[in-house]
Amino acid sequence: MYRIKSQIDVKSESFQANKKAYQQLLETFRERTASVIERGKEKSVIKHKKRGKLLARERIDLLVDQNTPFLELSTLGAYDKYENQFPSAGIITGIGVIQGKESIIIANDATVKGGTYIKETIRKHVRAQEIAMENHLPCVYMVDSGGAFLPDQSHVFPDRFDFGRFFYNQARMSAAGIPQIAIVMGSCTAGGAYVPAMSDETIIVKEQGTIFIGGPPLVKAATGEEVTAEELGGADVHTSISGVADHFAEDDRHALSICRHIFETIEKKEKQKLDSVPVEEPFYDPKELYGIAPVDLKKAVDAREIIARIVDGSRFQEFKARYAPTIITGFAHIMGFPVGIIANNGVLFSETALKGAHFIELCTSRKIPIIFLQNITGFIVGKEYERKGIARDGAKLVHAVANANVPKFTVVIGGSFGAGNYAMAGRAYDPRLLFMWPNAKISVMGGEQASDVLIQVKKDQLALSGKEMPQKDIDQLKKSILDKYEHEGSAYYSTARMWDDGIIDPVDTRKVLAMGIAMSLSKKWEETKYGIFRM
Ligand code: COA
């Protein structure tokens, strides 16, 4: 493959200015991430440690194979919500390697409101299970939770993808041969009791783990019986009397080592074949992404410059390089894995959509995963384009993206607006993983366009009764919409609500995508079958 020839002058004023602005974005990102991870001085953390318990992330570190990374998802879930009382939404989820097998780990953080579940906690838990199902990854549940956060019950209990979905997913996964292992390291109350009870194999920690449908206060209220938590559902009871749990652990470390032994007995399934090559670092330094990444979305960025700093050797086999230049398509390798890349290089036209759809057909017929690099304002508008059938051609791309059965991975590197989001494998198109860069923005359209549309609608309304919209009202409406879109369009707003799987430093993009591809090999990919392409 040819090496991309960068046109960027790293000494130029514009590069340096972008880099400086990006440092600011990174600083904010690192500060916010640290604020949810480094909480050692908090009362609940001190209390947790005094009980001889490890923190959720420490437990994960001990569970995964040494010197292998853990890809944590949605670290900033629930960020800036509930007065920041739920760091990481009170649950740590991610992908780690246990005894050589890519696995999903779901660990309650008991230092956050007793590990109880708010809406975002549920979404993280269910999302992690979805990734497990789609990629056939064994699941480990480290349970340490008071169950539902009771004041928020209407958001956590009744709906299709609420608390009950955990157990449904566990049953379906178990039936599909996806191992379900629970380690009870703390409370497991009410509905929560079903996490270990629905698992294939369960470990429980002495004098820490408890499993019961109703805790001591509820039992007393209901029947008058006085009983301690340990007598009601401690490790001794469940491993020697009830049989609800299978393994008795002396402490957290022991429990984790039992879990690793269980993994020795889990079958290594045949993987999806993907012809990889030796890893080559990018020729152009990935740190240069800071000087190039679109901080100002109004400025055009040549997507090849981004690709050159993500792929192996900065080598790229471009497809249709001379045609429809607002989308860049081509093949490359990421950490040795072959990938097809689709990256925006401007607004989407009819021919752009056709080029994208054609390239997706190549990837699905060659069984190559697709990486979408989103920086898209949307599809072109106007009389000329509607008459040429932009809606029909755009639909072809959306159709190809929706039906492509090779793993898709999406990184929002700039803007993600309107139908462009759909055509570029936004969340609704089930990419296996979707990440945002700290500069990324996502909304139905840009704030400027949204305010212009609303002002025009208002003006037209008033015109019907012969009135005009005063400039003061125009300015006020414009400002309120711009502020709203600025706030709701930010990567932090998105990640707090799990519209993505997390915000990543651009430099980590290679590593994160490679982990995603490695995980996607655990299950054989289905054949792709397209429906009717409207011609
Ligand atoms: N809903 C809402 N808040 C809860 C809660 C619940 N189910 N369980 C605990 N909390 C809150 C506590 O009010 C406390 O909040 P604060 O920090 O603002 O004071 C915080 O979580 C920690 O609880 P605490 O009891 O001090 O911690 P702990 O580690 O000693 O015990 C539990 C944790 C979960 C074992 C214990 O609080 C408990 O048994 N909770 C009730 C569980 C229950 O019955 N759930 C039913 C779910 S359907």
Using the mean position of ligand 1's atoms as its centre, give its distance from the Cα of residue 106 in Å: 19
Residues in the chain: 535
Using the mean position of ligand 1's atoms as its centre, give its distance from the Cα of residue 248 in Å: 25
Give me the torsion for CA of 349, 350, 351, 356, rounded to 10°: 90
User: Per-residue confidence of the chain (535 residues) as pLDDT tens digits?
Assistant: 899 999 999 999 999 999 999 999 999 999 999 999 999 999 999 999 999 999 999 999 999 999 999 999 999 999 999 999 999 999 999 999 999 999 999 999 999 999 999 999 999 999 999 999 999 999 999 999 999 999 999 999 999 999 999 999 999 999 999 999 999 999 998 888 999 999 999 999 999 999 999 899 999 999 999 999 999 999 999 999 999 999 999 999 999 999 999 999 999 889 999 999 999 999 999 999 999 999 999 888 999 999 999 999 999 999 999 999 999 999 999 999 999 999 999 999 999 999 999 999 999 999 999 999 999 988 999 999 999 999 999 999 999 999 999 999 999 999 999 999 999 999 999 999 999 999 999 999 989 999 999 999 999 999 999 999 999 999 999 999 999 999 999 999 999 999 999 999 999 999 999 999 999 999 999 999 999 999 9
DSSP state of 435: E
Mutate to test the pocket of ligand 1, among 109, 119, 189, 207 (most ligand atoms within 8 A of CB): 189
Ligand 1 binding residues, C-beta < 6 A: 110, 113-114, 116, 146-150, 187, 189-191, 215
Q: What b/e readout covers 169-190, taking b as 16+ CB neighbours within 10 angstroms?
A: bbeebeeeebbbbbbbbbbbbb
Using the mean position of ligand 1's atoms as its centre, give its distance from the Cα of residue 208 in Å: 15
**The pLDDT of residue 378:** 87
Q: Give every CB contact of residue 295 below 8 A, 6+ residues apart in sequence.
A: 18, 21, 22, 25, 439
Q: Give every CB contact of residue 512 below 8 A, 6+ residues apart in sequence.
A: 71, 433, 435, 504
Residue located nearest, by CA, to atom 12 of ligand 1: 113
Atom of ligand 1 nearest to the CA of 147: 47
- What would the two tokens of residue 412 be? 């929002």
One-letter amino acid at 343 equals A
Using the mean position of ligand 1's atoms as its centre, give its distance from the Cα of residue 148 in Å: 9
SS3 state of residue 408: strand
Is the four-CA dihedral 486, 487, 488, 489 of positive or negative sign? positive
**The pLDDT of residue 190:** 84
Residue located nearest, by CA, to atom 8 of ligand 1: 146
Using the mean position of ligand 1's atoms as its centre, give its distance from the Cα of residue 116 in Å: 7
How much of the chain is in helix, strand and coil states, percent to nearest 5? 45, 20, 35
Whether 238 and 251 have beta carbons less than 8 Å apart is answered as no
Q: What is the 3-state secondary structure of 323-358?
A: CCCCEEEEEEEECCEEEEEEEECCCECHHHHHHHHH
Residue located nearest, by CA, to atom 38 of ligand 1: 146
pTM above 0.85, yes or no: yes
Listed in order, strand segments (DSSP E) in 25-151 are 71-73, 91-98, 101-108, 139-145
Residue located nearest, by CA, to atom 3 of ligand 1: 149
N- to C-terminal Cα distance for the chain?
Answer: 33
Atom of ligand 1 nearest to the CA of 210: 35
- The CA–CA distances, whole Å, from 270 to 36, 65, 265, 453 equal 38, 20, 15, 53
Using the mean position of ligand 1's atoms as its centre, give its distance from the Cα of residue 146 in Å: 6
Using the mean position of ligand 1's atoms as its centre, give its distance from the Cα of residue 149 in Å: 8
Residue located nearest, by CA, to atom 29 of ligand 1: 114
Q: How far apart are CA 292 and CA 14, in angstroms?
A: 9
- What would the two tokens of residue 335 be? 């950490």
Using the mean position of ligand 1's atoms as its centre, give its distance from the Cα of residue 48 in Å: 13
**The pLDDT of residue 192:** 86
Using the mean position of ligand 1's atoms as its centre, give its distance from the Cα of residue 366 in Å: 52
**Pairing state between β 337-344 and 71-73:** unpaired
Residue located nearest, by CA, to atom 37 of ligand 1: 114
Phi, psi angle pair for 108, to nearest 5°: -65, 145
SS3 state of residue 486: helix
